[in-house]
Chain A
Amino acid sequence: MSEILQAIFTIVVTIFITNMGIALYGVFSRPSLIKKTISLVLFTDSINIIAISIGFRILEEGYPKPPILPKIPETPAELEYFVQVSVDPLLQALVLTAIVIGFAINMFIIGLVKIYYRHYGTTDIRVSLEEGKHEKNN
């Protein structure tokens, strides 16, 4: 059972590393600012999923549990069993912080894109580049 789990884990991590590369391609070479923003969101999310997967663990038998106590423990042994089967909670907490900060940044980026659209009438980044060249020549 754990071999199948390992194989699935490997495939998932590889997929998200590839996803990271594709998202970076979008950030670099798409001219539309909205598509750049979407790619940036995909990039952040792929990295977050890789970060969560570092906290994953496997067990000799059964599946790992989420880091939430199912009920109030009555004896120290019950608590110790929870420690033995649960996954790493620290990475989940750090990724939650990363998600919130990424969310704040994306909100602000979309505001900037809206201002850009109102100024130029398009979200194509090349328009502003050409205008800059024109001003320099004059």
Chain B
Amino acid sequence: MKKKDLVIAVSLAIMVIAISSALYAGGIIIITPPYKVRDLAKNFLRYSYNPWNGKLTSYALNVVSAIIWDYRGLDTVLETAVLYSAVIGITVLFRGIVEIRGLKHRGLSLLVKMPSRIVIPLIIAVGISLAVHGHLTPGGGFQAGAVATVTPALIITIFSIEALYVLKLRIQKLFLMRTIAFIGILMISISLFLYSLMSLTNAYVLQNMIREHSNISMPHWFIDVPLAGSVFLYNILEFFTVFAGLTYVFIVYSMRRKEVENMWEEVETYE
């Protein structure tokens, strides 16, 4: 057993030294970050918000958001599908769970409960603002959803899982919300294409702004703020998918003994 540990340690040390020396081979010991970014990155930076070149821009001030939802939009739709399939996998693993209300619960002391009552609405507000301003400031749909999911985790630890049931956050409802938001993302990605079929013009799937050979676009200006068209809508819907998916997983993982009892029976009959 000790021999095995030694072999692992030595081989990992060799790996670390090999990767480091491969990275530093260009300079002498010190690795030098470049003075200029790559041409690809330059193009992204230049065209993300560029009213002087209408055919390549996406009117988003946040370049990362523009890349995620516009220039490389297909990647992100598939990434959302991966998250969705993980939630489905957890549903299959934990089949047979039932939510039971009215079990004994206490939660933490009043000293913890009172401040968290003040903090929890603030966290949700921060999450929503990150989602709504995702194309203008640092943030975006996934980050916003992850921030907002802190609240169910806090509620489960501080009050009890019963408090979530009182707030009507049931797992069926969350799963429905997640599915509707995911279908919404898919519908927005093909909405301009469907519109072009009806009005007999050209459009692409996942199109946002005016492109070559296509003259239709999502709205890119709302009163006096840049809206970035589909980036804004995707951010909002991604917020809902991530919030519903992660809250679902939190609830399933913090079920109490009486609620998961039936899971055992189902697994045994399956075997």
**Which residues of A are in contact with B by a Cβ distance under 8 Å?**
5-7, 9-10, 13-14, 17-18, 20-22, 24-25, 28-29, 53, 55-60, 66-69, 72-73, 76, 79-80, 82-83, 86-90, 92-93, 96-97, 100-101, 103-105, 107-108, 110-112, 114-115, 118
Contacts and interface: CB of A to CB of B under 8 A. Distances in A.
A89 B8 contact: no
Given A17-B16, A86-B37, A93-B64, A29 B44 contact: no
A96 B68 contact: yes
Interface stretch (B25-33, B104-112, B122-130, B166-174): B25-33
Contact of A21 (B15, B50, B82): B15
A111 B33 contact: no
Q: Name the prevailing secondary structure of the B interface residues.
A: helix
A20 B16 CA distance: 8
Interface of B: 4-5, 8-9, 12-13, 15-16, 19-20, 23-24, 29-38, 40-42, 44-46, 48-50, 52, 61-64, 67-68, 72, 75-76, 79-80, 82-83, 85-87, 89-90, 93-94, 137-138, 140, 142, 226, 249, 252-253, 260, 264
**Most A-side CB within 10 Å, residue of B67, B252, B253:** B67
Given A88-B37, A89-B67, A108-B89, A83 B16 contact: no
B33 A6 contact: yes
A97 B30 contact: no
Contacts of B37: 55, 57, 86-88
B93 A104 contact: no
Given A17-B20, A21-B13, A10 B79 contact: no
Closest 6 interchain pairs by CB? A104-B86, A93-B67, A21-B16, A88-B41, A89-B63, A67-B63
B83 A100 contact: yes
B12 A21 contact: yes
Given A6-B33, A89-B64, 16 more contacts: A24-B12, A67-B45, A68-B138, A69-B48, A69-B49, A73-B49, A76-B52, A79-B49, A80-B46, A88-B41, A89-B44, A90-B44, A100-B80, A101-B83, A111-B94, A111-B253
A68 B4 CA distance: 49
